[in-house]
Amino acid sequence: MLLAALLVWAPPPVLARTATVPIPAPSTPAEREALTRGRALIADFYALRLERLWGAFTTETKAQWGSLEAFQAFREAGARTYGAERQLMAERTFTDAGVTYYVRSATFEHDPRTVWALVFGFDAVGRVGLFGIAAQGEQVPGRIAFSPGNVKDAP
């Protein structure tokens, strides 16, 4: 339920955006750490350097992807299909039920009209227990990219 709420959160209209995206100041040390780590892991993800992100995944998250090679194939397909991040629309952090979330909303060069939410959920020791990508404002199951089976539908 929380994940569905994360994915339907929609930022203000694109025309109202500026180059600098304000982010609410994280209110806890865990949220400050999630912002810092989330940004670093996203940079690695975008650069196709997946070893550090894979190493941060919990055993359960790794099991969802199957192997580093399958995760790498997912990312490479997304990079080919969607291209580089074109515009950062928003970032936010929050904590719910002991999980601290980093949510990055962005558009990509080959799909500039869709705003994608990239979500990390960090557990109490900083491991990534949730990693997901989905089009914001939509709850269409085929557009949610939480498994290698949905490679074509996410950046």
pLDDT digits (tens, 9 = 90+) for 45-84: 999 999 999 999 999 999 999 999 999 999 999 999 999 9
- 60 contacts: CB under 8 Å, gap ≥ 6: 129
Q: How many whole angstroms separate alpha carbon 14 and alpha carbon 111?
A: 14
Strand partners, 145: 133
Inter-CA distances, 36 with 20, 39, 50, 93, Å: 17, 5, 17, 10
Q: How many whole angstroms separate alpha carbon 89 and alpha carbon 53?
A: 23
Q: What is the pLDDT of residues 80-104, one digit of tens each?
A: 999 999 999 999 999 999 999 999 9
Q: Is the pTM of this model over 0.85?
A: no
